[in-house]
Structure 1
Amino acid sequence: MDIEKKMIDAIQQGDLKEIQDLLGDVLLKVNPDMQYEIAGLLINFGFLDEADELLEHLQYVFPDEVQLKIDRATLLMERGEEDQALEYLMSIGKEEPEYPQVLLALADYYQMQGLYEVAEQRMNEALEILPDEPLLQFAKAELLMEIGRFSEAARLYHSINKDTEEIAGVRLVERLAEVYRAGGAFEEAYEFYTQALENQTSPDLLFGAAYSAFQCQMYETAIRYAEDLKTLDPDYFSAYLLLAQSHAMLEDNKKALEVIKEGIMRDEYDKELYLFAGKMSLKNNLPNEAEQYLRQAIALDSEYMEAILTLVSILSNEERDEEVVELIEQLEKDDFDWSSLSAFAALSYDRLENFKRAYEFYKLAYTEHKEDPLFLEKYVYFLIEDGKRMEAQQVARQLVALQPDEPAWQDLLQTFE
């Protein structure tokens, strides 16, 4: 077996020791064209150090070969040796035919550094030289998608898709589905996902189709795609929440709870699954089960506000005020923003006859609940009983403003005159 064949077999088998043993012979006995091909294969399989040895050798043999400088610079960037890579790229003049590749490599570098504006400038320079080059257009579309300029990215993907279905290993119909979904254009996304699924089925495509259908309120369709996804990949955890939510939107709360429990069995560390299980347990009149799920969600994230808020709501409705207060005071110690819980805290302290703390929380809650008559009713009577008539009068006026046809508030306001 010749050296080239042995090396290619070793690369494909991932045999690092054999690759290293053969590298010397490749450098000495294999022609430059084959050395270049082997370097590319090494890069594709992730053997960057060995590929760099070959490219460095080829650069020594062909010091003026521009393409080798670009390839070496790209490889060095992957290895984190940016300074040397930039030195190679900057040494290539604008007059070289390969200069658009230089600009694209620089754009990739700046994009990796988060310097998106500079990256776009380099891509635009390259497109001025080769305005109809699909690879450059695709690179710019990828950048625009990454920085959230979805409609511009979609236009470029559409333009490329007129002439080709696939570029750089990416099927454009799939990318169009992704960019429309990312931009919130779910009807367009759904159309492209269904087109993509005609060619091939994959978990990501099925999830994208299910999610887009859900956002378009096509819940039966979302269920169908999510079920197909669950069958194809039972460990695609996001499918369970989406499937449960779809059943819930169809008011099949029993099925929604069943699905979310199945999801928790697959992924016991996803706080969102526990939160939704808590909410569905409430819908199914299972408050004790709901509480358990919510506490598990909070155990996974002690600052999970939506779970905390739901749990406190349950505790407050059951007048378990000591537990509400205990939770509030723990959050205070942790310097957590519990302002959303102020109304519950105020009510619990009030019922526990800790009027000083109740007053503190009523005042905090008033800012967020000025438009809530139920809260204002509790607050105004608390203020009256606490002897704060001027403040009570202000809250009474707010009640009258919100419900001018309610005689009780008019009567209450008159008592202050």
Structure 2
Amino acid sequence: MNLLQEMEQLLLDGDADALQHKVQKLQADHEYDALYDVANLLIDYGFIGQADDIFAQLLLVFPDEAQLKIDRAAALVELGEEDDALLLLTDIKEDEEEFVQALLAQADYYQMLGFAETAIAKVREAAALAPHEPVIQLAQAELLLDSGRYSEAVRIYNKLHETNDELAGVSITSRLAEAYSAGAAYEEAIPFYEELLKQEENPEELFGLGLAYYQTERYTDAISRLEQLLEMDPDYFSAYMLAGQSYAQQNEDEQALKLFKKGIERDAFDKELQLAAGKSALKLQLPEQAESHLREALVLDPEYIDALVTLASLYNQQEEDESLLDLLSYAEADQLEIPLLHAFSAYAYERTEDYKKAYEFYLKAYDGMKEDADFLDQYARFLLEEGKPSEALPVIQQLVVVDPQAEEWMAYVDAQSEEGV
């Protein structure tokens, strides 16, 4: 058993004292190469602090050794001592062989801190010094992808893909699919996803391809891939939503509702699936099911605006005014200034003959509903019935702008003009 194997066994046995004794002996015997190997072994097993101690001691002996500076900097970053790490990296001079490696390490440092542009600048500096080094090109593409500069990343990945399907453990094909999709170039992403799935089927790429098909309106292909994914992994919840939406886009609402319900069976706490099921049930004229799903979505998130508006719309259509006003009381309590909800309140109060409240909510809704002809029509009629013709006229004038085919109201405006009102 060689030295590293002995050290590894001590690590596995958890014999810290024996391990420390061996390290001290190596130091005493000036076995610097062995110490370096032990430090890297310690890093492999997660003993970063102990490895850093060794690197620090080695740097006392070899203060100008650039590789040691890079290795210790990596350890310091892991220990949360980023500033000390950067000092070591910037101490490596441009004429040293490891300078390019130091630039890449600095790029990792700045990326970790969220300084994407500085990180990219460091990688570009490295690329200028080693323009034909694929690993550096890959590092640049990875940073560009991470910072949302998808077209630039795609250009580099495509160049790498000409000679490499995989580089440094990274699938270039996978990165191209990801980068094209992230940049909304779904048509371009499809062949790369298909290429990946020929090699090996896995959930992430099946979903990526399903999404690309959906975004390019190939809904049947999307459904096929997403249902294949759900057979492989029934707990891939996003696939239920996307498959259901694909069915809905083809007006197959029964199948859509079925998919949403299957997803809810696996995860009843997914508010988006509850909302989607509620909307599908509405399209299928199943108001009780719709109400159940929408209420469940609001239980999961009382501030879920889309579910609140959809349920309020259902109650308004069915003129369930008590339920509607009860629901909208929560919106009022949360001071949600949503014109459509104010309009629903106005309709409900008008139907229940609370005209003072109806007037109050019509006023609240008006500014945000000026482009809704149905609202303007109902508001105008309300004002006229309440004996407020001077207030009704500007509403009617706005209505005929929005809907020039509203002949009844056109005639009203003309009549008022002739009377000089």
TM-score of the two chains, using structure 2 as the length reference: 0.90
1:350 aligned counterpart, secondary structure: helix
The C-alpha deviation readout for 1:167-203, integer Å capped at 9, x for no partner, is 2311011000001111111111111111111222221
What amino acid is the match of 2:14?
A: K
Structure 1 counterpart of 2:68: 68
Q: Is residue 2:211 matched to residue 1:211?
A: yes
> How has the CA–CA distance of structure 1 residues 62 and 228 changed in structure 2, closer, same or farther, with 3 Å as cutoff?
farther
The C-alpha deviation readout for 1:39-77, integer Å capped at 9, x for no partner, is 445434544334334433443443321011112112211
**Retained in 1: the 8 A contact 2:35–2:54?**
yes
Structure 1 counterpart of 2:82: 82
Identity value in percent = 44
Structure 1 counterpart of 2:179: 179
What is the alpha-carbon distance in structure 2 between the residues aligned to residue 184 and residue 49 of structure 1? 44
**Retained in 2: the 8 A contact 1:248–1:256?**
yes
1:49 aligned counterpart, secondary structure: helix
Note the C-alpha offset of 1:278.
1.0
Structure 2 counterpart of 1:352: 352
Runs of 4+ in 1 over 6 A off after TM superposition: none
> How has the CA–CA distance of structure 1 residues 337 and 303 changed in structure 2, closer, same or farther, with 3 Å as cutoff?
farther
Q: Which moved more, 1:388-397 or 1:167-176?
A: 388-397
Structure 2 counterpart of 1:397: 397
Superposition pairs of residues 13-412 of structure 1, within 5 angstroms: 15=12, 17-18=14-15, 21-22=18-19, 24-26=21-23, 28-29=25-26, 32-33=32-33, 35-412=35-412
What is the alpha-carbon distance in structure 1 between the residues aligned to residue 283 and residue 379 of structure 2? 29
Q: Which moved more, 1:246-255 or 1:377-386?
A: 246-255
What is the alpha-carbon distance in structure 2 between the residues aligned to residue 24 and residue 64 of structure 1? 28
- Structure 2: stretches of 5+ with no match in the other structure: none
Structure 2 counterpart of 1:5: 5
Note the C-alpha offset of 1:309.
0.8
Structure 2 counterpart of 1:413: 413
**Retained in 2: the 8 A contact 1:332–1:338?**
no
What is the alpha-carbon distance in structure 2 between the residues aligned to residue 222 and residue 38 of structure 1? 51
> How has the CA–CA distance of structure 1 residues 228 and 65 changed in structure 2, closer, same or farther, with 3 Å as cutoff?
same
> How has the CA–CA distance of structure 1 residues 389 and 43 changed in structure 2, closer, same or farther, with 3 Å as cutoff?
farther
> How has the CA–CA distance of structure 1 residues 209 and 79 changed in structure 2, closer, same or farther, with 3 Å as cutoff?
same
The C-alpha deviation readout for 1:131-177, integer Å capped at 9, x for no partner, is 22222222222222222211111111112222211123110110000
What is the alpha-carbon distance in structure 2 between the residues aligned to residue 34 and residue 93 of structure 1? 26
> How has the CA–CA distance of structure 1 residues 94 and 392 changed in structure 2, closer, same or farther, with 3 Å as cutoff?
same
Q: Which structure's CA Rg is the greater one? A: 2
> How has the CA–CA distance of structure 1 residues 196 and 24 changed in structure 2, closer, same or farther, with 3 Å as cutoff?
farther
Note the C-alpha offset of 1:374.
1.2
Q: Which moved more, 1:174-183 or 1:406-415?
A: 406-415
What is the alpha-carbon distance in structure 1 between the residues aligned to residue 229 and residue 89 of structure 2? 45
What is the alpha-carbon distance in structure 2 between the residues aligned to residue 87 and residue 94 of structure 1? 15
What is the alpha-carbon distance in structure 2 between the residues aligned to residue 340 and residue 142 of structure 1? 45
What is the alpha-carbon distance in structure 1 between the residues aligned to residue 223 and residue 157 of structure 2? 29
**Retained in 2: the 8 A contact 1:106–1:119?**
yes
What amino acid is the match of 1:377?
A: D
**Retained in 2: the 8 A contact 1:3–1:25?**
no
**Retained in 2: the 8 A contact 1:223–1:243?**
yes
Note the C-alpha offset of 1:282.
1.8
**Retained in 2: the 8 A contact 1:4–1:26?**
no
> How has the CA–CA distance of structure 1 residues 315 and 82 changed in structure 2, closer, same or farther, with 3 Å as cutoff?
same
What is the alpha-carbon distance in structure 1 between the residues aligned to residue 405 and residue 339 of structure 2? 31
2:387 aligned counterpart, secondary structure: coil
> How has the CA–CA distance of structure 1 residues 390 and 6 changed in structure 2, closer, same or farther, with 3 Å as cutoff?
farther
**Retained in 2: the 8 A contact 1:107–1:120?**
yes
Q: Which moved more, 1:171-180 or 1:122-131?
A: 122-131
What is the alpha-carbon distance in structure 1 between the residues aligned to residue 362 and residue 57 of structure 2? 76
**Retained in 2: the 8 A contact 1:278–1:293?**
yes
1:148 aligned counterpart, secondary structure: coil
Note the C-alpha offset of 1:380.
0.8
Note the C-alpha offset of 1:26.
4.9
Note the C-alpha offset of 1:120.
2.2
**Retained in 2: the 8 A contact 1:110–1:118?**
yes
Note the C-alpha offset of 1:251.
2.3
> How has the CA–CA distance of structure 1 residues 100 and 363 changed in structure 2, closer, same or farther, with 3 Å as cutoff?
farther
TM-score of the two chains, using structure 1 as the length reference: 0.91
Q: Which moved more, 1:19-28 or 1:245-254?
A: 19-28
What amino acid is the match of 2:191?
A: E
1:269 aligned counterpart, secondary structure: coil
1:206 aligned counterpart, secondary structure: helix
> How has the CA–CA distance of structure 1 residues 286 and 40 changed in structure 2, closer, same or farther, with 3 Å as cutoff?
farther
